[in-house]
Amino acid sequence: MANVTIEIDKGSGFCFGVVNAIRKAEEELAKGGTLYCLGDIVHNSREVERLKAMGLVTINHEEFGRLHDAKVLLRAHGEPPETYETAQRNNIEIIDATCPVVLQLQKRIKQEYNRDDDSEKQIVIYGKSGHAEVLGLVGQTAGHAIVIESLEETKQLDFNKSIRLYSQTTKSLHEFREIVEYIREHMAPGVTFQYYDTICRQVANRIPNIREFAASHDLIFFVSGKKSSNGKMLFSECLKVNPNSHLIDSATEIDNSLLEGAESIGVCGATSTPKWLMEEISEAIHAFYASKE
């Protein structure tokens, strides 16, 4: 054990928007009574289970529509205006944990939609169609905004009409820049194109950080739910700089044969990976070496 270092990446784990939402949920749960959450509070089943055990009840939008006289937490992704209208109609108390960065973006898009400058302009959101945050953003424009998921889909826009481009907070900065370039090159004369880089650096900065972390250890355990898209993306970045990187979602998945002979082990994860889970992995590794002594 004396020769092995085990480090947990300080830059991995929940972004401040998610930390804030979980803190709000815990505060409300401590007061007692039932607290509902509209959608999974975070895309990590272990954390959802932890909060469920504390009393948090996750519901979907259909169930929300039928709910009356209750308390409902809105998670960091935010919600469209209809959710607030339903709450008012059904006497639902909202605990609003929408991330301040997302709230600000919702406001900007709403202002853009209400601005009376060009009746033909297209409000375009680069984001994942159907994603909760994107639904909340499109909702600010009464459903008029156009969602594009990729550079490929950018080609379907009408370049004879003005374009105002925004981005979902968690999209790729690199592709956003490519989209901006493509639109710039294709705009017809006489129409305008304005774009706003609304990508959250809490996520965008993780790529260079995690690459540096993965390169600085000889063995990497990347901890994430297997379905997390952010997890898949960050894990592939680890693999690029350190082929000895392994994706696990619990301590039981650690292959002990990898630990033999390792000198420097890094534990890192996605934006949906709780700190306590990375600590659990680190403790299991420590326990493995302790058992060898």
**Among the listed residues 163, 148, 164, 166, the one whose alpha carbon sits nearest the alpha carbon of residue 104:** 166
Tell me the residue number closest to ligand SF4, measured at CB. 17
Number of other residues whose CB lies within 10 A of the CB of residue 32 = 8
Name which of 122 and 230 has its Cβ closer to ligand SF4: 230
Which of 22, 37, 41, 99 is in the footprint of ligand SF4 by CB under 6 A? 99
Number of other residues whose CB lies within 10 A of the CB of residue 277 = 23
| Residue 171: CB minimum distance to ligand SF4, A | 10
- Find the catalytic residue in 133, 152, 178, 185: 133
Residue 102 binds ligand SF4 (CB under 6 A): yes
CA–CA gap between residue 242 and residue 281 (Å, rounded): 19
> Looking only at residues 182 through 201 of this chain, which bind ligand SF4 when binding is defined by CB under 6 A?
200
Q: Catalytic annotation on 133?
A: yes
Residue 17 binds ligand SF4 (CB under 6 A): yes
In the three-class reduction of DSSP (H, G, I as helix; E, B as strand; rest coil), residue 122 is classed as strand
Q: Could you tell me which stretch among 12-20, 141-149, 221-229, 230-238 binds ligand SF4 (CB under 6 A)?
A: 12-20
Q: For Cα atoms 3, 4, 10, give the angle at the middle one, nearest 5 degrees.
A: 140
Residue 44 binds ligand SF4 (CB under 6 A): no
CA–CA gap between residue 269 and residue 8 (Å, rounded): 9
| Residue 99: CB minimum distance to ligand SF4, A | 3
Residue 210 binds ligand SF4 (CB under 6 A): no
Compute how many residues bind ligand SF4; rule: CB under 6 A. Answer: 13
CA–CA gap between residue 130 and residue 272 (Å, rounded): 19
Residue 234 binds ligand SF4 (CB under 6 A): no
Residue 231 binds ligand SF4 (CB under 6 A): no
Residue 16 binds ligand SF4 (CB under 6 A): yes
What would the two tokens of residue 90 be? 């059904």
Name which of 233 and 254 has its Cβ closer to ligand SF4: 233
| Residue 21: CB minimum distance to ligand SF4, A | 8
What would the two tokens of residue 280 be? 């659990």
CA–CA gap between residue 262 and residue 221 (Å, rounded): 12
Helices (H), the chain: 16-30, 45-53, 61-66, 81-89, 100-114, 132-138, 151-154, 173-186, 201-204, 206-215, 229-241, 256-259, 275-292
Which of 76, 145, 147, 265 is in the footprint of ligand SF4 by CB under 6 A? 76
> Looking only at residues 133 through 172 of this chain, which bind ligand SF4 when binding is defined by CB under 6 A?
169-170
Catalytic residue list: 133
Binding region for ligand SF4 (CB under 6 A):
15-18, 76, 99, 101-102, 169-170, 200, 202-203
